[in-house]
Structure formats: C-alpha cells, structure tokens
C-alpha cells in the first residue's frame, strides 16, 4: 500500500520533471502551443493529441509526430513502472491539463470541450 | 208300337236333355241357387261370368260377396265388407254322391282359386288385396225329409301369402297370415303369426318393416273389445323393437304399449356398418324403451329413453388405428341415459291431402344432459323429404368426446343453437345454422397435430400436450371464435433434431412466469361459401391472438380448398419468442427478446413456402458451444490447454427469410453485434450481416452457404464473400478479408502488454476448416498507412541484454514504420509461421537512419491463442530472432 503510494508519488515527480524539461520537438512551421491556441490541436485524456472538431488538418503532421514521441516516452515510463501505456497517458493528461491555458480544446471521456478559464 | 216307341224315345230324350239343359243353364241359375242358399243370412254373393261346370268344378269371371257385421258391443256402427274375386274357379270334391241316397249327410270339400281377391269395407277404411288366393272350405250337406237341403260349413282355411293392405297412401305389403276357422274351433281364429314385411307410404318404402305379432280372434272375456297381439317385433330404422304384448282397443281404436329396443349392437346400425362409406364405427350396444300410445292415427311417444351400455361409443375414423376420436355414449355419473324423456306426436297419414305420410310434432328429448327439440315436421312421401329445425340447448356432447392419440385428450362443452336440416333425395342438407359452443380441450398431444407428427428425422417433432378453450359460434355462414385460449403443458415444446436424431433446438410452449397461456384472446372469423359457385370459398376476415408479450395477426384472406396455393400473411408484433428457444447438445444458450414482423406463408399441396418474411427483434442471446469433453488426467487439466467453451452472444437480430416449396431457404440476417468469448479473450463482431442459403441441394442438405458476410471487427471490417460450410463434417474453405484493422487491437489480442502500435492493416487470410482442424494458407496482411511500433523495455532489461538484443530494443523503442507486411500460415496441428517485415526508422536511434527488420515467428499458434501469457513467448522469440540492420 505505502509502497505503491511512494511509487506513484515518485512517478508523478518524474512526469512533472519531464514536462518542465519539455519534449525535444523538431522545428515545425507550426509549434504545439500555437496549434493548441489556434484550436488546431487539442489534448485528449489519454495523454495524446488529436484534431478537435471543426479544425482542418493543418496540425495533423505535428500532432502525429508529437504523439509518436509521447507514446515512446510513456512506453518507457510504463515499462519502468510496470504500468500500461493508457494509465501513464491518462496520468500525463492530468499534468498537461493543469498547464493548459483557458480556451484550449480538451477531450474527456470522448467529449470535446474548451478548457474553462 | 211306333207311338209308344216315340213316347219312349221322347221321354228318354227328355231324361237326358233336362239334366243337360240344366247343366248348360247352370250359369243362369247359379245365382238363384246361391241366393236361395244364403237367404236370410248376412251374406250376399253375386257371381257373374260363370262357366259351365265340369265334373270337378266351375269357373267364373267375377264373384262379389258382401257381408255385414251387425253392430256389437265393440263397434257402434254396422260394418259391411265387400269381397270381390276375379277370374276364379271353385272346385269341389263331392265325395260319394250315392251315399247321399242312403244317408242324410254328405262331406264335401270346396276350393276357391282366383287371380285376385279384394276386400273393401264400407265405410271405406282400407283395401285388402291378395293375388292368387286359395280358400279351402268343407261343407256338410244335410238333407231332411220335407225340407230343402242344407249346407253346414265345417271348416274354412285361407293361407294369406304376400297380400297387401292399403289405407289411403299407406300400404302394408308382404302380409302373411293363416286364417283357420272351424266348427270344432267354434269359428274362432286360433293364434297365428301375422307378419308384414314392408310399409310403403305413397309408393315409397318407409323405415318401418318386418312387423311380426301373434294373434287370434279369441278375446279376453274381461276385455272383450281388445285385440291382443303378443310376441310383437318390428324393425324401426333398422333397429329391432319388441313388445311382449300390444292390446288394441277395438271400440276406442287405441292402444298403448312399450316398444323395447334391446341391446342393439351399434355397428349394425346403417351409419356404422363396417362396410359402409362413412368413416365412423360403433362399438358396444344400445338399448331403449319407447312407450307408445296410438289413437286416431296418432302415435304419441311418451318419455322414451335410449341408453348405451358401459363402453358403448362411436369411433372416428377407423382406418388409422393409431389416432381416433371416440364419442362415449355409455352411462356416466349424473347421466345414465343417452337420450331420455323423448316425447313426440306422430300423426300417420295426415288428412290434409298435401300432408300425406307422417307428421311429427311436439318433439322434445333430453340428450347428453341437454335439451333437444324439433319443429313440427312432415315426412312427405311424394318428395321423399323431411325438413325440420332442431334446436339444442346445452347438449353436453363434447364432455363425451375423447381423442386417442399419443395421449388421451378430452373435450368439454355444451352445444346450443338451431339447426335447420332437410333430408331427402339430395341427402342431408342444412339451412341457416346457428350454433354456439364453448369447447374446452385438454391433453391433446402436440405430436398429433398435422405438421408436428414427425416421421422422418428432418421434420420438427413436438412434445407435450395442449389445452385450451375456444368459444365457437356458427351463424350466418360464419364461424367465429371469441376470446379463445390455448396453453401448452409443462413440458410442451417443438423440437428440432439433427441428422443423428439428437435434440438440437427446442421451442418451448409451456406456461412461463409471464403468462399462463400460449395464445389468448383468440378471435377469428371464418366465412364459409361467401362466393356462389361450385367450389366452396372460405374467407378469413379476422384472425388474431395475444401471445406472451405481443400480438399475432393473420391478414384477411379468401381461399378455396381446391386452391393449389393458399397465401397467408402472419403479422407478429412484439412476441416474446426468443425466450422460449432452448439449445441442446454441444450448444447451450439463453436467448431473450421479442420478435416483430411479417411472415407471408403460402400453403401448397406439397408443403409451404415463405415469401420474404421480414422479422426483427431487439432481443439478445448467448449461445455457448461446448465441444464434447475428453477425459483428461489431473496433470493434463492443470498444465494442458483450457477447455474450449465459447460463448457467442448476439444482439438485435433482424432477418429476411425466404423458403421455397422444395425446402430451399435463404436467410438474410443482420445482428446488432456478435461476440465470441472464450477463456482466452473475446472477439466482437459489430453489425454482422450476411446471407445464409440452406437446403439448396437435396442431395447435400448439410451444406450451408454464407455469402456477402460483413461485420465490424476491431474498428475495421471483416468480410467473407462466400463460404460453403458442411455442417455434418464441419468443413469449410474460405478467405477472410480484413480491412482497416488497428494493429494495436491485433497485438492486444495476442495478450502482450509491452508492444504498442498505431496504424491499421488489411489483408486476406485463406482459412480451411475440417472437423476440429483449422488451417491457414498464406495469409497476407499489410499496413494501410505508416505508423509506430514501440517495444518498451526497462533500463534494467536493456542493461541485462547482450549487445545485439540491446540494439534491437533500442530500435524498437520508438519505431516509425513506413511499411509493414506480414504473412501467416498455420498447419492443421497449429504450427504456424508468422513473418513480419518492417521498414522505417527510430528518430532516437542512430540518428534516425532507415532500418529494416525481418521477424520470423515460428510457434504453435493454437497453443498461443489458448494462453493468455504469451507476451513472454513474444519476448523470447524476439530475443532469439536475428535483427538485421540495413546498412
């Protein structure tokens, strides 16, 4: 019980650290912050990005690339902590969510909405 | 001398000529003689056309005699009888004439033969006719001195043979009786048997005959005016009636007696004769007694009764000895007699000229505890027709009706109504029938219902019995059922068997928690003969019933029994039918849900066809397929493969069903979903649909063809364009087409938790099923787009790995493939070869240079699929396989 607690706390610390360090994203015409701000990309509760409703495919390439990176990272964490990718992804989403500016598209339990201010 | 000689000659001539003249003149003075002989007597005889008598007799053309009987204590008026005899001859035997010279007595015998003899009384009440009669008479001639010769009759005998008596339109024919009157017998007729073989009414035979009775003229001194007939018997409608004694009051012209119908075997009655055309037979005997009063040509029947002996019954039909109806007519508690209190007034030979024959009025009886009455009716001998209206009230005939099939079914119910009928040359015909009866039946075996009889193995058989109530009304040529009910017994079901006669599927008909009855509120209207013409037409104008949860309706239809095809459309609305389906054998299942739709059926001489039945259901079901379990040791159970029970569950089945007369059946189906669940996981097919064709080939009835099958499978689709499946051999060969299948789902199916993938694959997998073996031949799958594969390892794993493996781990930590190809084949024993070709790069590995990976997985796929813990296998396999790096 306590062991799991400690483990979870450690994991959260690791995730937080990862966020501050930032993903090593290659140079894109459109960066993630801009795409999210323009409503071309949204955060999904599995820790990945997706195209929100009504948006065109302009951010498709960056979404795919970032998702691949995120998956690789999540998989690493999952393997180290003997968790599934989905669990890591949803924990990651919670962290990402706190840092999102208001008005960003988020998808929770299949429903798209804009983060309230 | 000459003179004397002349005188002598003249005298001699006179002596000879006078008798000759007298002889020759006999016809002229015969009448005189007779008149003289009968002077002062109540006889008068007239002879005409008599011939010249011969030595032994004399002939005549006509003899009429009249005899007047004076009024006596038995009749107030004198009665005169006129007797006429045509073309007769009286012959005699005078005996020794010479003896008369010495004696004053002479015995003579006379015999009268004639062509015909008629007796006509005045007042005219009847006419007696006899042909070729012979009457014998003995007379004694008595001569006294000084007195004319006297005739003393000694004996008269007349054997009547085949004579007839006619009274207006009634004629008694074939009368036999022997008249024997003698001085010694004091001129009393001794008892002799009178028999009358037939009664005709206006020339037509009446159903009464073979009358026999013993009687003579001697009267009971206490009842001087009573004619007593004894040992009487009569044939009435082929029933033998008997009366020990009939007393006929001559003065009042009346009689009363009881006719006993004793122990008549039913199969001797005309309708029940074994050789008869009717398919009904009688068993046992009936007996009865009919008290009859006769007066003024009127027969009164008072409280007659007919009772069957224990076990007496009427059977229908007799040809098929395994199933038949019986109508029990023996005594029952509370109703000992079949027919009792039968009263009727029968007027013979009614005075009205139009109404000759028989007129029956005031007919009433108690039949099977109910009341039977008839309107006054006449038997018209000219038309040979009887028309009457029977009215019935609570005749509990159905209480006595049984059905003998697989079980003994019983009926209950009373019949009430009116039944106008006429019986004549055309046979029995009915007028406007108005009948009502609430028929209750119980314990009718389902297997006795046509169509459920079974016989060959492929026909559905049934188990259990049915009971119910059908309140029937027949009025204005329409048969109506109002608020009927039918329920099945506890174990009742329709059962489908397989080729080996094993129970496969059954449809329960038993009452369940939701409803006591199978069908209730049954309402039907069947119009008969609605269209004039030779072929009788029937019209179902209404047929509906409530079933558990829903309603069943048959659309209005018109048909004739001669129709080659009778179309019928059933409309099902929300019928809870799936709950009643049970699976047997290797299959187990629980289904539930209601069925709605239209079921157009065409009934033909050779079976039935279904024209695009559209049925849909929101129901759900689970079918568990549990192959026969082989005995395994404990070790095998622990370490061997888990048992292969598979649950198939489906949702919302919709079908379109077409069946031809020859049995060819095509079923278009679509389901909400179909799920296969085993211990090793589940496969979900969403919205599966396809076409099943069954019984297309008579020679190969086990072949089922599935075509145009398409279902959602892991967000993608699986399609089968055609597969011929041999149910008996469990043989099939087809190609599974997969499209748009997420790679991750296929990996998840393998049970591993360390491999993540994106992208979808498509491919075709040829599959061959034979018995329990499955073979995959050169299945090929390719990725539909590029994607990512991640094989996640921990730093510890990587540290522990050797150099080659560590490189592989690193490459696969974030592999972005641009090409993915896979080929798979599996031998019947489960040994499989899976080849995966990957082309792509890992941006984090060796600066993202292109990498090509070839993985060959050789393993027992069946074992793999049976096991949940295959990820370790995969790891091991990956470890062992060579990692080829593209330069």
Report d(CA B485, CA B465) in Å as an integer: 14
Report d(CA B323, CA B407) in Å as an integer: 10
Selection from B534, B648, B635, B639 nearest residue B591 by Cα: B648
- What's the pLDDT tens digit per position in B1-51? 567 778 877 777 777 777 777 677 777 777 777 777 777 777 788 888 888
The predicted model gives B827-834 an average pLDDT of: 77
* Residue B774 pLDDT level (bands cut at 50, 70, 90): confident
What share of chain B has pLDDT > 70, as a percent?
86
Report d(CA A93, CA A47) in Å as an integer: 4
Number of domains chain A is built from: 1
Contact call for A72 and B793, based on CB within 8 A: no
With a cut of 60, say whether residue B351 has pLDDT above it.
no
Q: With an 8 Å Cβ cutoff, is B198 touching chain A?
A: no
**ipTM of the assembly?**
0.79
Mutation target to probe the A interface, by most A beta carbons within 10 A, among B753, B785, B786, B792 is B792
* Residue A26 pLDDT level (bands cut at 50, 70, 90): very low
Residues near A100 by beta carbon (within 8 Å), at least 6 away in sequence = A36, A43, A106, A115
Report d(CA B581, CA B844) in Å as an integer: 60
Q: In sequence order, what E strands does B743-875 have?
A: 755-757, 760-770, 773-783, 787-791, 815-826, 831-841, 850-860
* Residue B532 pLDDT level (bands cut at 50, 70, 90): very low
Give the pairing type, strands B285-295 and B298-308: antiparallel
Give the pairing type, strands A105-108 and A42-44: parallel
- Indicate the range of A21-25, B472-476, B576-580 predicted with least confidence: A21-25
Residue of chain A nearest B795, judged by CA positions: A80
Contact call for B794 and A84, based on CB within 8 A: no
Please report the pLDDT score of residue A4 as a whole number. Answer: 62
With a cut of 90, say whether residue B330 has pLDDT above it.
no
Report d(CA B776, CA B779) in Å as an integer: 7
Local structure of B234: helix, strand or coil = strand
Report d(CA B176, CA B244) in Å as an integer: 20
Residue of chain A nearest B794, judged by CA positions: A80
Contact call for A79 and B754, based on CB within 8 A: yes
Q: How far is B863 from chain A (nearest CA, A)?
A: 25
Q: Which residues of A touch B788 (CB under 8 A)?
A: 68, 71-72
Q: With an 8 Å Cβ cutoff, is A84 touching chain B?
A: yes
Contact call for B813 and A80, based on CB within 8 A: no
- Indicate the range of A19-33, B172-186, B295-309, B429-443 predicted with least confidence: A19-33
B863, with CB counted inside 10 A (0-12, 13-18, 19+), is middle
- What's the pLDDT tens digit per position in B610-640? 899 999 888 888 877 766 555 555 544 444 4
Count CA atoms within 13 Å of residue B849 on its CB side: 4
The predicted model gives A67-82 an average pLDDT of: 88
By residue range, what is the domain housing residue A84? 2-114
With a cut of 60, say whether residue B671 has pLDDT above it.
yes
Contact call for B756 and A85, based on CB within 8 A: yes
Mutation target to probe the B interface, by most B beta carbons within 10 A, among A46, A68, A74 is A68
The predicted model gives B213-241 an average pLDDT of: 83
Q: How far is B788 from chain A (nearest CA, A)?
A: 7
The predicted model gives B297-314 an average pLDDT of: 87
Contact call for A78 and B797, based on CB within 8 A: no
Q: How far is B740 from chain A (nearest CA, A)?
A: 18
Contact call for A71 and B816, based on CB within 8 A: no
Residue of chain A nearest B809, judged by CA positions: A76
Q: How far is B858 from chain A (nearest CA, A)?
A: 26
Contact call for A69 and B814, based on CB within 8 A: yes
| Strands of the B503-508 sheet, one edge to the other | B461-463, B493-497, B503-508, B581-583
Distances (CA, A) of B866 to B639, B642, B746, B835: 12, 7, 15, 21
> How many residues appear in chain A?
117
DSSP state for residue B355 in the 8-state scheme: G
Please report the pLDDT score of residue B711 as a whole number. Answer: 92
Please report the pLDDT score of residue B721 as a whole number. Answer: 94
- What's the pLDDT tens digit per position in B54-83? 778 888 899 888 888 777 777 777 778 888
Closest CB from B790, B795, B797 relative to A75: B790
Q: How far is A114 from chain B (nearest CA, A)?
A: 27
Phi and psi at residue B720, to the nearest 5°: -130, 120
Report d(CA B34, CA B467) in Å as an integer: 88
Output the CA torsion sign for B229, B235, B236, B241: positive
Residue carrying the six token digits 């062509």: B115
Contact call for A72 and B758, based on CB within 8 A: no
* Residue A27 pLDDT level (bands cut at 50, 70, 90): very low
Residue carrying the six token digits 């009968």: B38
Report d(CA B287, CA B261) in Å as an integer: 5
Q: Which residues of A touch B758 (CB under 8 A)?
A: 67-68, 71
Contact call for B813 and A76, based on CB within 8 A: yes
Report d(CA B631, CA A31) in Å as an integer: 65
The H-assigned helical ranges of A24-84 are 32-37, 60-81
For B90, the token pair is 């009286």
Position with higher pLDDT, B485 vs A27: B485
Interface of B with A in 820-849 (CB under 8 A): 844
Position with higher pLDDT, B92 vs B879: B92
For A75, the token pair is 């998989």
Please report the pLDDT score of residue B97 as a whole number. Answer: 62
- The per-residue DSSP string of B750-771 comes to HT-SSEEE-SEEEEEEEEEEET
Contact call for B844 and A85, based on CB within 8 A: no
Report d(CA B140, CA B132) in Å as an integer: 26
Q: How far is A71 from chain B (nearest CA, A)?
A: 8
Report d(CA B336, CA B338) in Å as an integer: 7
Give the pairing type, strands B493-497 and B461-463: antiparallel
Local structure of B590: helix, strand or coil = strand
Check: CB of residue B626 under 8 Å from CB of residue B588: yes
Report d(CA B815, CA B818) in Å as an integer: 10
Check: CB of residue B810 under 8 Å from CB of residue B774: no
Contact call for A75 and B813, based on CB within 8 A: yes
Q: Which residues of B touch A76 (CB under 8 A)?
A: 792, 813
For B378, the token pair is 């006449």
Residue of chain B nearest A67, judged by CA positions: B788
- Indicate the range of B69-73, B789-793, B863-867 predicted with least confidence: B863-867
Contact call for A80 and B794, based on CB within 8 A: yes
Output the CA torsion sign for B32, B38, B40, B41: negative
Per domain, the residue ranges of chain B are 37-167, 730-887
Mutation target to probe the B interface, by most B beta carbons within 10 A, among A46, A72, A86, A89 is A72
Report d(CA B410, CA B332) in Å as an integer: 15
Output the CA torsion sign for B803, B809, B815, B818: positive
Q: Which residues pair with B281 in a beta bridge?
A: B315
Please report the pLDDT score of residue B705 as a whole number. Answer: 92
B679, with CB counted inside 10 A (0-12, 13-18, 19+), is middle
Local structure of B448: helix, strand or coil = helix
- Indicate the range of A98-112, B266-280, B346-360, B423-437 predicted with least confidence: B346-360
Q: How far is B618 from chain A (nearest CA, A)?
A: 26
Residue carrying the six token digits 């390719």: B782
Closest CB from A68, A76, A79 relative to B788: A68
Establish whether the linkage from the previous residue to B713 is cis, with ω within 30° of 0: no
Please report the pLDDT score of residue B637 as a whole number. Answer: 45
Mean pLDDT of chain B: 81
Q: Which residues of B touch A67 (CB under 8 A)?
A: 758
Q: With an 8 Å Cβ cutoff, is A38 touching chain B?
A: no
Position with higher pLDDT, B135 vs B74: B135
Selection from B686, B693, B595 nearest residue B649 by Cα: B686
Report d(CA B556, CA B826) in Å as an integer: 58
- Indicate the range of A10-14, A68-72, B137-141, B423-427 predicted with least confidence: A10-14
The predicted model gives B712-738 an average pLDDT of: 88
Residue of chain B nearest A26, judged by CA positions: B843
pTM of the prediction?
A: 0.65
* Residue B819 pLDDT level (bands cut at 50, 70, 90): very high
Q: Which residues pair with B542 in a beta bridge?
A: B525
Report d(CA A79, CA B797) in Å as an integer: 10
Report d(CA B592, CA B577) in Å as an integer: 8
For B238, the token pair is 């082929």
Report d(CA B328, CA B330) in Å as an integer: 6
Q: How many helices (H) and strands (E) does chain A have?
A: 4, 4
């Amino acid at each position: 019980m306590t062991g799991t607690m400690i483990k979870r706390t450690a994991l959260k610390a690791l995730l937080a650290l990862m966020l501050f360090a930032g993903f090593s994203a290659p140079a894109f015409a459109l960066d993630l912050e801009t795409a999210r701000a323009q409503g071309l990309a949204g955060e999904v509760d599995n820790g990945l990005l997706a195209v929100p409703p009504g948006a065109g495919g302009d951010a498709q390439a960056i979404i795919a690339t970032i998702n691949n990176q995120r998956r690789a990272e999540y998989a690493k964490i999952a393997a180290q902590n003997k968790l599934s990718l989905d669990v890591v992804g949803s924990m990651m989403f919670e962290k990402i969510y706190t840092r999102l500016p208001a008005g960003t598209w988020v998808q929770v339990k299949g429903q798209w909405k804009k983060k309230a201010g | 001398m000459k003179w004397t000689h002349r005188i002598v000659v003249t005298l001699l001539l006179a002596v000879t000529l006078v008798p000759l003249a007298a002889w020759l003149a006999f016809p002229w003075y015969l009448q005189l003689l007779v008149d003289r002989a009968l002077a002062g007597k109540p006889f008068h005889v007239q002879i005409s056309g008599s011939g010249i008598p011969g030595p032994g007799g004399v002939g005549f053309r006509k003899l009429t005699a009249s005899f007047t009987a004076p009024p006596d204590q038995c009749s107030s008026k004198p009665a005169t009888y006129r007797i006429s005899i045509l073309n007769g001859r009286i012959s005699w035997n005078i005996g020794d004439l010479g003896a008369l010279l010495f004696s004053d007595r002479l015995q003579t015998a006379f015999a009268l033969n004639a062509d015909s003899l008629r007796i006509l009384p005045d007042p005219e009440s009847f006419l007696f006719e006899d042909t070729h009669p012979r009457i014998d008479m003995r007379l004694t001639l008595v001569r006294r001195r000084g007195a004319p010769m006297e005739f003393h009759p000694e004996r008269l005998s007349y054997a009547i043979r085949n004579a007839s008596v006619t009274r207006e339109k009634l004629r008694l024919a074939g009368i036999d009786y022997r008249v024997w009157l003698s001085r010694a017998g004091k001129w009393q007729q001794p008892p002799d048997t009178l028999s009358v073989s037939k009664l005709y009414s206006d020339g037509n035979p009446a159903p009464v005959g073979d009358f026999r009775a013993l009687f003579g003229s001697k009267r009971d001194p206490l009842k001087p005016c009573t004619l007593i007939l004894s040992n009487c018997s009569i044939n009435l409608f082929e029933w033998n009636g008997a009366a020990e004694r009939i007393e006929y009051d001559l003065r009042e012209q009346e009689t009363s007696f009881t006719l006993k119908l004793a122990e008549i075997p039913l199969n001797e009655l005309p309708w029940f004769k074994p050789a008869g055309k009717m398919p009904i037979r009688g068993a046992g005997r009936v007996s009865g007694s009919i008290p009859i009063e006769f007066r003024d040509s009127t027969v009164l029947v008072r409280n007659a009764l007919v009772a069957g002996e224990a076990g007496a019954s009427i059977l229908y039909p007799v040809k098929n000895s395994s199933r038949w109806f019986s109508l029990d007519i023996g005594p029952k508690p509370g109703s000992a007699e079949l027919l009792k209190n039968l009263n009727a007034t029968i007027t013979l030979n009614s005075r009205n000229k139009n109404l000759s024959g028989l007129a029956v009025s005031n007919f009433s009886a108690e039949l099977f505890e109910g009341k039977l009455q008839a309107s006054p009716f006449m038997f018209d001998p000219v038309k040979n027709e009887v028309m009457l209206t029977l009215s019935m009230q609570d005749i509990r005939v159905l209480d006595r009706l049984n059905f003998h099939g697989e079980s003994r079914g019983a009926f209950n119910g009373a019949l009430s109504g009116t039944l106008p009928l006429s019986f004549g040359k055309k046979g029995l015909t009915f007028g406007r029938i108005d009948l009502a009866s609430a028929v209750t039946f119980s314990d009718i075996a389902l297997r006795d219902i046509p169509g459920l009889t079974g016989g060959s193995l492929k026909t559905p058989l049934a188990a259990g019995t049915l009971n119910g109530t059908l309140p029937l009304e027949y009025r204005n040529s329409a048969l109506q059922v109002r608020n009927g009910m039918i329920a099945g017994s506890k174990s009742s079901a329709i059962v489908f068997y397989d080729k080996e006669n094993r129970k496969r599927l059954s449809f329960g008909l038993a009452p369940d928690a939701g409803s006591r009855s199978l069908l209730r509120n049954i309402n039907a209207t069947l119009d008969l003969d609605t269209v004039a013409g030779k072929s009788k037409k029937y019209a179902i104008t209404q047929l509906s019933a409530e079933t558990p949860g829903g309603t069943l309706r048959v659309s209005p239809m018109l048909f004739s029994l001669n129709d080659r095809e009778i179309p019928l459309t059933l409309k099902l609305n929300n019928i809870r039918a799936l709950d009643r389906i049970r699976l047997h054998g290797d299959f187990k299942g629980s289904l539930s849900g209601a069925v709605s739709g239209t079921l157009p059926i065409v009934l033909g001489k050779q079976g039935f066809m279904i024209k695009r039945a559209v049925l849909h259901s929101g129901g759900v079901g689970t079918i568990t397929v549990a192959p026969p379990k082989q005995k395994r040791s404990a070790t095998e159970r622990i370490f061997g493969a888990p048992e292969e029970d598979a649950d198939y569950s489906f949702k919302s089945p919709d079908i379109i069903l077409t069946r031809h007369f020859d049995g060819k059946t095509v079923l278009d189906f679509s389901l909400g979903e179909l799920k296969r669940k085993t211990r090793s996981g589940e496969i979900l097919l969403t919205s599966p649909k396809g076409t099943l064709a069954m019984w297309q080939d008579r020679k190969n009835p086990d072949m089922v063809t599935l075509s145009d099958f398409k279902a959602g499978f892991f967000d993608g689709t699986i399609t089968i364009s055609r597969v011929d499946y041999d149910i008996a051999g469990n043989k099939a060969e087809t190609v599974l087409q997969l499209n748009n299948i997420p790679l991750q789902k296929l990996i998840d199916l393998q049970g591993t938790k360390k491999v993540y993938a994106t992208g979808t694959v498509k491919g075709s997998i040829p599959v061959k099923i034979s018995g329990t073996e499955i073979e995959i031949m050169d299945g090929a799958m390719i990725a539909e787009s590029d994607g990512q594969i991640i094989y996640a390892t921990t730093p510890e794993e990587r540290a522990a790995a050797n150099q080659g493996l560590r490189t592989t781990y690193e490459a696969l930590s974030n592999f972005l493939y641009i090409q993915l190809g896979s080929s798979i084949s599996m031998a019947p024993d489960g040994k499989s070869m899976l080849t995966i070709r990957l082309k792509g790069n890992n941006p984090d590995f060796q600066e993202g240079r292109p990498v090509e990976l070839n993985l060959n997985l050789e393993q027992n796929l069946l074992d793999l699929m049976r096991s949940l813990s295959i990820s370790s296998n995969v790891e091991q396999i990956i470890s062992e396989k060579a990692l080829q790096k593209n330069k």
